[in-house]
Every structure is written in C-alpha cells, then in structure tokens.
A and B are shown apart, each in its own frame.
Chain A
Amino acid sequence: MLQFPIYLDHNATTPCDPRVVETMLPYFTNSFGNAASRNHPFGWQAEEAVDYAREQVARLVGADPKEIIFTSGATEADNLAIKGVFEMYASKGNHIITCNIEHKAVLDTCKHIEKEGGEVTYLKVKDNGLVDPADVEAAIKPTTILIAIMYANNEIGTVMPVKEISAIAKKHGVLVFSDATQAVGKIPVDVNKDGIDLMAFTAHKMYGPKGVGALYVRRKTPRVKVTAQLDGGGHERGMRSGTLNVPGIVGFGKACELCMYEMTEESARLSKLRDKLENTLLTIEEAYLNGDKGHRLPHVTNISFKYVEGEGLMMGFNKNIAVSSGSACTSASLEPSYVLKALGLGDDLAHSSLRFGLGRFTTEEQIDYTIEQVTNTANKLREMSPLWEMYKEGIDLNTIEWAHH
C-alpha cells in the first residue's frame, strides 16, 4: 500500500535512519555528559562516544580521525574553511577560485571575503554543469590560496571533476576545498584519492540528524590550518569552540557507518529507480534533462517540462508527493534558480523545472505513482497553457514582444 505523502526531496534533507536514532538516544539521557569534562565518568563516556563517532566519520571519507572538526553543519563548515583559510594564509595571497553554481553557503562566504579585501574568481560552468579543469588552471595566479569547488551540485546532481582539479592545484601549490554535502554517503569520496585538503559535509543529508556536520582539515602533506571563526573554549583542536553536540555527533557517526556499508547496494538500487523515473518522464514531449547524464549522483534527476510552470506543476500533486522546483515562485527572491540559469537555460526552462531526489526508503511503487501524477499534471496544465497552444500552432515564442514585468 502506498502511504502519503511520498518524499522525493532527499537533496533538501533526509529522514533519520531509525538505527541512527536508536544509537543517539542514550546520549540525551543517561550518557549526557560534556565531552570536555575530563575528570568524571560522565565526561569520559561522552568523550569516548565522540571519539568513536569521529572514527566512523573519518573512515567514510578516507581521513584520519584527527582531521575531522565537528561543526553545526555544512554551512558552518563552508564558512570556517573559506574564511579560515583566507585569514590563515593572508601572507601568501588573497585570491580564491570557485564556480558559479556553488551552494549559497560558499558563494555568499566568498562575497564576504571580497568585502574583506579578498579577490574571488567565479568560474562559469559548462552547459552540462561541470567546471572545466582547464579554466581552473587558467585562473590560478601567484596570489591564489584556495580553490573551492563543490563535489556534487545540490540542484542537478552533477559530480565535478574534483580529482583533475586537485591535481592542477597541487602542481601550483594551491589548497583545495570541496563542499561535499551532497556527495558524502552517496558515492565514494576519499580525501586522499581525490586530493582534497578541506571538505565540508553534514549528517542530515545522509540519514543522520540535523545540526551536526564536519570540516575535514588535512594534517599531512600539506598540514593545513584554518583560523577559528568562533572564540571560546578551544574545542576541536582550537578550530571550533563550543560544547560538542554529543548525541548529534554519535548519530552522525552511525549514519556514516551505515552509508559506508550500504552505499554500493543503495546507489545501484536508486540509480535504477531514478533511471526509470527519468527515462519515462523524458518521453513527455518537450521535456528536457538538466545537467550531465554521465557525471552525476545516482539518486537525482532534474527535468524541465517546457511551457508549464514549476510551482503550478507541483501544486497538482504536492499533497501527495514532495519534490522541489527551480521556479521563481518557490524561492524567496522571485528569481528562478541561478544554477539552472548558469547552465545556459533560458529563464522559461528554469521556471519549468522539477528536481527529484530519491532516497533510502524510496520504493518502485512510489516512483510509478510519481510518474503517473507528474505526467497527468503536465498534460493537464499544458491544455491550460497559452504557450503550449502557441507552440503547437508553430508560433516561435521568441518572436513575440512580451510585456516584461
């Protein structure tokens, strides 16, 4: 039996795996100690739990536990990495290279750096959503201290050529930071194989709790340092003060462990379901895939249904199915998705997009229902769309003088 509502917005957040919750529970009550209390069993227990979780988290990304700094989430980790490197390496230079489809936590942090006297190059991605490593190399200057490129994009799921970019960075002695929020736990990420020096990720995108994330900071070849952004008790090797969120960290650790053991099977299952959803929806006339079919996460697809507006489309089924859209109407800014626009999509196609994010508990039955609902609603709304009528009459919409509002 299908149960409603169906959740297909796993890029926004994921439910906590019940096994994660179970692991966390004792740390709210009996084992509630402060991990920094060094002189009694309550503190020791908490510290031990955090140490264990740190190992679980480190193992998933091929890091040493000492290289994991716990934060409140990926946004904080992004801020700490970029601002922390900018301040720590001020004597080496002030130039940062990033790209135009990064998450706002990176882009807005870079904007802040510019106000502080930094210089930032925002590379344009190609139409498939990928950064060209040659563009990265061309942008490097003697003052470049950091290259910040996301591992996988949150809206279209494309996976960046991180390895190629880090090889270039190494050649020029520049640090590489990657916001891997969408990738860790979904596809194999290894900080050593990928040549990453700093990496942000978070628990709630991988079936862990909200409010806890991590910044990986390389300790060897090279030893990387970041200037702390919070002043206080000097936790996390002085890089992030603040009492550790013990239950959250324990849950994060468990979530990482589950991903490590189940990733291969889970991603194979999800990519099969994703392909079914995508291939069927793309048989709808004038439906287009956004992003790159080859280089992307296994559980994401982003499709534009031309001549239908995204929010209007979602309204047809959003009581029963949760997805998201790049349409302006769904954002606070009334601007359509900057990610989709960066792919060279016209605003009209950006307004017509839906993002589907599958997850651990998604079933084939849910996908079949989604295909049916999306198809029916798209067809119904096209019957109501003046643009569809014009398209069917062979009118080129570009020749019409629209009254721009």
Chain B
Amino acid sequence: MAYSEKVIDHYQNPKNVGTLDKSKQNVGTGLVGAPECGDVMRLQIEVDEATGVIKEAKFKTFGCGSAIASSSLSTEWLKGKSIDDAVKIDNMEIVEELNLPPVKIHCSVLAEDAIKAAINDYRKKNGMPELKFEEGVVH
C-alpha cells in the first residue's frame, strides 16, 4: 500500500515531537492505545489558563506511519484552538486531510481519543467536570 504524500511528509518531518511537564497544572496528557495493539499515542496540551487556548501541543507515538502522521497533524491543529473547539476535532477530518485508506482509519480514531483524553485530563486537574464521549466506532 502506498502512503499519501501528506502521511510521508509528517512521518519524515513530524511536527511537535516531545514531552511537556505533566505535573504542571495547565498541562493535560492523553495516553491511548496499547503496546499489544501496535499503537500507543501520547498527546499533551499546555493551556493558557486565562483564555482557555492551547498554546503548546506535543506528541510521542509508537505505531505505523499513519499513526505518527495522525498525531503530528493533531498537534498542529490543536495549537491556537480553545479547549472547547479542540474537543470538536473529528477523526474523519484527519482521515480526509491525510488521505488515510480504510485500514488506517483506526489511527485517526486513536488520535481523536488522545485529544479528548488530554483535554479531559486538563479539565480534571482544573476542577472542571470531565466530558463524556461516545465510544469510537472503529478500534
């Protein structure tokens, strides 16, 4: 299977690889997937507490090229978004942007889950109720 150019570009030049200090009050961390499934994503956001805008996003991913690209793209999209807008990112937008084939849709689902998990971690740390989400469709 050939990869789309966008996937290859994110794989070769991943954006925002790294680690934020998860002990900080304004950092939310989402860790999703499992080593046995061949995909683990960790997505972190640093939020401007005054405005609720994400000022920094970092990721680390164990997985195939599409998983790496999905998380790299997610960090790009998260930066500058408010946490309320960020939570609306839908996995199908990632699929479209990266041109993922059907067998790789689960990578985008994982990225969406990671975003939501990071936001919920931030909300929990800051005394906001956790958001409830429907289970992802494709896992």
Contacts and interface: CB of A to CB of B under 8 A. Distances in A.
Whether chain B is bound by chain A comes out as: yes
Interface of A: 307-312, 315-316, 327-329, 334, 336, 346-348, 351, 383-389, 397, 402-405
A385 B61 CA distance: 5
A315 B3 contact: yes
Contacts of A329: 38, 63-64
B68 A312 contact: yes
Contacts of A404: 34, 36-37
Given A386-B62, A405-B139, A336 B38 contact: yes
Given A384-B17, A405-B110, A315 B36 contact: no
Contacts of A386: 31, 40-42, 60-62
Interface string B14-37: 100101000000000001111111
Interface residues of B, number: 31
B39 A315 contact: no
A347 B37 contact: yes
Interface of B: 3, 8, 11, 14, 17, 19, 31-42, 60-65, 67-68, 103, 106, 110, 113, 139
A327 B60 contact: no
B11 A315 contact: yes
B38 A327 contact: yes
Given A383-B17, A386-B40, A309 B62 contact: yes
A217 B19 CA distance: 62
Given A389-B19, A405-B34, A309 B60 contact: no
Contacts, number: 89
| CB-CB nearest 5 A-B residue pairs | A402-B34, A347-B36, A348-B35, A405-B139, A386-B42
B64 A387 contact: no
A307 B63 CA distance: 9
Contacts of A336: 38
A382 to B, nearest CB: 9
A309 B39 contact: yes
A402 B42 CA distance: 12
Nearest to B113: A403
A170 to B, nearest CB: 42
B129 to A, nearest CB: 20
Contacts of B11: 312, 315-316
Contacts of B42: 386
Contacts of B65: 311-312, 315
Contact of A312 (B32, B34, B63): B63
A184 to B, nearest CB: 31
A139 to B, nearest CB: 30
B93 to A, nearest CB: 20
